[in-house]
A and B are shown apart, each in its own frame.
Chain A
Amino acid sequence: MIELRNIDKTFRSGKTEVTAVRDVNLTIADGEIFGIIGFSGAGKSTLVRCINLLERPTAGEVIIDGTDLTRLSPKQLRAARKNIGMIFQQFNLLSQRTVADNIRYPLELAGTPRAQADERVRELLALVDLADKARAYPAQLSGGQKQRVAIARALACNPKIILCDEATSALDPITTHAILDLLKKLNQQLGVTVVVITHEMRVVEQICDRVAVMDAGAVVEQGSVRDVFLRPQSETARRLIDPTYKEGSGLTLPPNTLRLAFTGEESGAPVISDMTVKCNVMVSIVAANTENIGGKPFGQMLIEMPHDAAAQQRICDYLDGRGVYYERSIPAGSGPAASQVPAAPDAQAVIESDIPNNEEYGLGKEAR
């Protein structure tokens, strides 16, 4: 179990101080795949480096299976790190070593006898499906192959935890999918705890059990992936799951937009067609995507309703009747201040759950 207690990390260069992580409390259970998501600069990479003390927290405790790593001697810390594998966005393989020798590196550190190390390297190569690349050098491999080598290397000493720092951000979507599948498989087969740092919601969707959302160094929301998806509590989470949101795009959705979230069987049913017929309204589908969360289909859709309040009321009544989650969408790309903007008066009736104020973003707050 990983317990982060009151973690602060401040970087000081000359007279300027930058707080990358502030008062983070997280508990990650054994065998869990835990996501930490946020936009660039949210402090998630610094936070994950606090788990193996690549960055020493300015304050707070990092407790892994009951041991506070911040209190260990350098030697004890090196031993503890052998139980925590890590993979990186840029793979970070030793460029002058073959694939097999890269995987052998942690075994060399551990002083594993040659024959035993050879055997272990063979096992690991088979596990990540790269047996034929044993003698290749990293420069001869594709990105996905390099990351698989890095995963095999991280697993060499049977760690209990694997930290993934934007491990798929340098990969194309298909390779990303394959790497995430591999991580999921390893989690299920070996029971290894996986901590995934990412800025991409689809990564969290595909493999994580629980997720913490970070903004400006703090965890603003955490809970099961499903809960955070269906009922995002924070502005950051909303922006991360908004299919139309692009950083810096400045796109603003009209105020009469609804976000519909479908779970289970509903996503297969023709809700929108049925709704337009039964309510006698026309809606525009602004954006839509369907994801697979924890094996269950999940879809979300942004629809633009007519300005007519009566029509909007009919839509909401219909959705209530169907039991479909819906909520008013935050205007995308309008920045953090958006949550302070009052909703347009004609839309009040359709707001199913109020947008939380920033004060409500309590640390460690569970999403509903």
Chain B
Amino acid sequence: MSPELIDLIVTGVWETLYMTLVSTVISYVLGIPLGVILYVTDAKGIRPNRVMNLIVGTIVNILRSIPFLILLVMILPFTRLVVGTTIGSTATIVPLVVAAAPYVARMVESSLKEVDPGVVEAARAMGSSVWQMIWKVFLPEAKPSLLVGAAISLATILGYSAMAGFVGGGGLGAIAINYGYYRYQFDVMLITVILLVIIVQIFQEGGLALVRKIDKRLR
């Protein structure tokens, strides 16, 4: 393999990590509040609010039902508005976040639903306000489950980032498509695929190891 190609793949790995990690962080910054709103305003939540729940729920569902590749193309004008370009890894972060934030919101909501209702009841009995419940009960108690969700989200977002290679995104996905698909260099494609598998493994196992370390229920 030529040194240029090795350089290209190394760059691809960094671009992939950059897109995936930055997108995941931004998706969580948006997704956690959305997930909390979905959970808290649910009919069975601590502050039921049908209108709020319906609005957030509908937006989340619409964004989640658009296939990523189509969403990617559909929001190109928006991407250009935000980052000034539609190609490269930074431009890919925009559609990745638009697709992943609603997904993360549902992951967060489902993690919060796992919090023991008895603990929630005890916190209510002690006179906790909604904010105190969110900060001191829901999020801390759901932390292990939220981390498992984050590991799964990372792998999903990594997969999305590879798809972005089709429309000028960077990273390993672009290399796999450009060399493997357009130039029939299957060895290059194979290498990128193996690298992607390794990265997903690291995220997944690293995430679970972290959960085992921080979850106080497993002692």
Interface-side segment among B24-32, B64-72, B136-144: B136-144
The residues of B that contact A138 with a CB separation of less than 8 Å are 216
Whether the Cβ atoms of A95 and B119 lie closer than 8 Å is yes
- Count A interface residues, CB 8 Å: 30
Nearest residue (CB) in A for B142 is: A96
Interface-side segment among A60-68, A79-87, A237-245: A79-87
B66 to chain A, nearest CB (A): 34
A289 close to B (CB within 8 Å) = no
How many CB-defined contacts (below 8 Å) exist between A and B? 76
Among B125, B129, B137, B141, contact of A86 (Cβ-Cβ < 8 Å): B125
From known contacts A95-B116, A95-B141, infer whether A109 and B121 are also in contact, taking CB-CB under 8 Å. Answer: no
Whether the Cβ atoms of A109 and B216 lie closer than 8 Å is no
Whether the Cβ atoms of B141 and A94 lie closer than 8 Å is yes
Among A79, A86, A139, contact of B122 (Cβ-Cβ < 8 Å): A86
From known contacts A88-B118, A95-B119, infer whether A54 and B125 are also in contact, taking CB-CB under 8 Å. Answer: yes
The residues of B that contact A90 with a CB separation of less than 8 Å are 116, 118
The residues of A that contact B219 with a CB separation of less than 8 Å are 137, 139-140
From known contacts A96-B216, A137-B219, infer whether A78 and B125 are also in contact, taking CB-CB under 8 Å. Answer: no
The complex places the Cα of A105 from the Cα of B133 at a distance, in Å, of: 11
A253 close to B (CB within 8 Å) = no
The residues of B that contact A52 with a CB separation of less than 8 Å are 125
The complex places the Cα of A106 from the Cα of B126 at a distance, in Å, of: 6
B53 close to A (CB within 8 Å) = no
From known contacts A86-B122, A94-B137, A94-B141, infer whether A139 and B127 are also in contact, taking CB-CB under 8 Å. Answer: no
Residue in A52, A79, A80, A95 whose Cβ sees the most chain B Cβ within 10 Å: A95
A92 close to B (CB within 8 Å) = yes
Residue in A52, A84, A92, A108 whose Cβ sees the most chain B Cβ within 10 Å: A92
From known contacts A137-B219, A139-B216, A139-B218, infer whether A93 and B119 are also in contact, taking CB-CB under 8 Å. Answer: yes
A9 to chain B, nearest CB (A): 16
Residue in B126, B128, B215 whose Cβ sees the most chain A Cβ within 10 Å: B126
The complex places the Cα of A79 from the Cα of B126 at a distance, in Å, of: 9
- Count B interface residues, CB 8 Å: 24
Among B121, B128, B141, contact of A88 (Cβ-Cβ < 8 Å): B121
Whether the Cβ atoms of A79 and B127 lie closer than 8 Å is yes
A97 close to B (CB within 8 Å) = yes
Whether the Cβ atoms of B126 and A82 lie closer than 8 Å is yes
The residues of B that contact A79 with a CB separation of less than 8 Å are 127
The complex places the Cα of A108 from the Cα of B128 at a distance, in Å, of: 10
B185 close to A (CB within 8 Å) = no
The residues of A that contact B140 with a CB separation of less than 8 Å are 94, 96-97
Among A80, A93, A96, A109, contact of B128 (Cβ-Cβ < 8 Å): A109
A108 to chain B, nearest CB (A): 7
The residues of B that contact A105 with a CB separation of less than 8 Å are 123, 126, 136
The residues of A that contact B119 with a CB separation of less than 8 Å are 92-95
Whether the Cβ atoms of B127 and A109 lie closer than 8 Å is yes
The residues of A that contact B50 with a CB separation of less than 8 Å are none
B170 to chain A, nearest CB (A): 39
Whether the Cβ atoms of B125 and A81 lie closer than 8 Å is yes
B213 close to A (CB within 8 Å) = no
Among A96, A97, A109, A137, contact of B126 (Cβ-Cβ < 8 Å): A109
Whether the Cβ atoms of B136 and A108 lie closer than 8 Å is yes
Whether the Cβ atoms of A78 and B141 lie closer than 8 Å is no
B132 close to A (CB within 8 Å) = yes
From known contacts A88-B122, A92-B122, A105-B136, infer whether A137 and B216 are also in contact, taking CB-CB under 8 Å. Answer: yes
Whether the Cβ atoms of B127 and A82 lie closer than 8 Å is yes
**10 nearest interchain CB pairs?**
A81-B127, A92-B122, A78-B127, A137-B216, A92-B118, A86-B125, A82-B127, A139-B217, A106-B126, A95-B217
Can you list 30 A-B contacts (CB < 8 A)?
Answer: A54-B121, A78-B127, A78-B129, A81-B125, A81-B126, A81-B127, A82-B126, A82-B127, A84-B125, A88-B118, A88-B122, A90-B118, A93-B119, A94-B137, A95-B141, A96-B141, A96-B216, A96-B217, A97-B216, A105-B123, A108-B132, A109-B126, A109-B129, A109-B136, A138-B216, A139-B216, A139-B219, A140-B219, A150-B122, A153-B126
- 20 further A-B contacts with Cβ under 8 Å, apart from A77-B127, A153-B126, are A54-B121, A78-B128, A78-B129, A80-B127, A81-B125, A81-B126, A86-B122, A90-B118, A92-B116, A92-B119, A92-B121, A94-B137, A94-B141, A95-B141, A96-B143, A105-B123, A109-B126, A109-B127, A137-B217, A139-B216
Residues of A within 8 A of B (CB): 52, 54, 77-82, 84, 86, 88, 90-97, 105-106, 108-109, 137-140, 150, 153, 163
